[in-house]
Amino acid sequence: MSPRSNAAQAGCPAWDRGPRLCIEPLRRHTRMTLGDWVALAMLWWRGGGRPAIVRWLVEPRGAGRMGAGCRATLETVVSAIDPGLAASGRLARARAPAQGALEAAHAGGITAVPWSDTRYPTALAAIADPPPVLWIRGDPEALRAPTVAIVGSRAGSAYARDVGRELGSGLARCGVTVVSGLARGVDSAAHRGALAVDGRTVGVLGSGVDIMDPPEHSGLARDVMRRGALVSELPLGTTPRPAYFPQRNRLISGLSRAVVVVEASTRSGSLITARLALEQGREVMAVPGNVLTGRNRGAHALLKDGAKVVEDVADILEEIGLVGTRVTNTRADELVSKDPVLRHLSRGESYDLDDLVALSGLDGPRLLPRLLELELAGRVARRDGGRFHRTDGGG
């Protein structure tokens, strides 16, 4: 049985296996500034507000309440999240470091992308605990799907590093962004493989994006920024700690359509990423390896549990639905005509949610997950202001 089959049998669409999202009302009606969002992120990390902020972001009773008649500010939002967080002293203590972080980001060419921004990756917004702000060095557009994560042992064998590099190159040649953790071993090999063919790659850090760990990867990090981006939810200046890496791993899987594990022992952090990927409804795949050394027992355990065997890039593309997506015009027209949303979208036109509700006959709880699937498949794209338009990508 596939690791994803329980969610599939429950009738959950591939990208809607977490809490329902009500993102667009807040995105369209909020008065929160970028500084407000960064202050909220400081309450998330340093102010003891993370559990309450998580609930507010992902539950319809939270952000979903911010409808057309509401002009949310930081004060009203924080009061709705937890009145205790709204105490003037706590807000002031969050605002001061938020302002300092934004000034440092501006000076360092770092972009702060809040949850309300259309550049915030839709796939990440769909996980159970999306961060309020992403800090990005490089091109935020590199975070737009399709993306695949390649992870594995920091002490990876030569075989594992070769496989990671080969998969990274192959995916990048096919236009897939390669996501990994910029760590030693398999992670860095995957990044280098993508860079070798001038592909896009994204490194997700367990530190602030202004702190490079390990230090010897500073040159690699510059190359990643040139062809993609470095990403972290941690405030600038945050040094790496062991507790940050499992939290970082949920972002690696959350940004990706699939996670491919290349050589992992039974205690590997890559298995944490695989478990998080399953919880998030992502595909999990693994590369078989040497059975004599014990280096790959964790990946082999995934295979025994139903993860797909990866022998080459074609296996990955097939699993995420990118094989055969360049269909004939007749087939493409057939797919469009059958889709309850696409068949109402004219090329060159854009539509807001109210338009799409009226045209498709789908209510919000059914429309938003479908739009999410279409966006991640490259069939629709979102413009500033929360309007959607049809694209020529995907199947």
Residues 50 and 193 in one domain: no
Residues 303 and 191 in one domain: yes
* SS3 label, residue 261: strand
Residue 171 predicted with pLDDT over 90: yes
- pLDDT, one tens digit per residue, over 309-351 is 999 899 999 888 886 433 233 334 555 566 788 878 876 677 8
pLDDT at 249: 95
Please check whether residue 245 lies inside any domain of the structure: yes
Residue 149 CA to its chain's centroid (Å): 10
Give the chain's domain count: 3
Residues 195 and 311 in one domain: yes
Residue 67 predicted with pLDDT over 60: no
pLDDT at 385: 63
Residues 210 and 270 in one domain: yes
Mean pLDDT of 279-303: 87
pLDDT at 122: 86
Please check whether residue 9 lies inside any domain of the structure: no
Residues 150 and 247 in one domain: yes
239: left (phi over 0), alpha (psi -120 to 50) or beta: beta
Residues 294 and 218 in one domain: yes
Residue 274 belongs to domain spanning: 140-319
Which of 67, 89, 109 terminates a domain? The answer is 109
Please check whether residue 279 lies inside any domain of the structure: yes
Residue 350 neighbours by CB under 8 Å, 6+ apart: 383, 387, 388, 389
Residues 234 and 260 in one domain: yes
Residues 153 and 105 in one domain: no
pTM: 0.75
Please check whether residue 116 lies inside any domain of the structure: no
Split at pLDDT 50, 70, 90, the class of 88 is confident
Residue 61 neighbours by CB under 8 Å, 6+ apart: none
Q: Which of 158, 210, 149, 143 is nearest to 181 (CA)?
A: 149
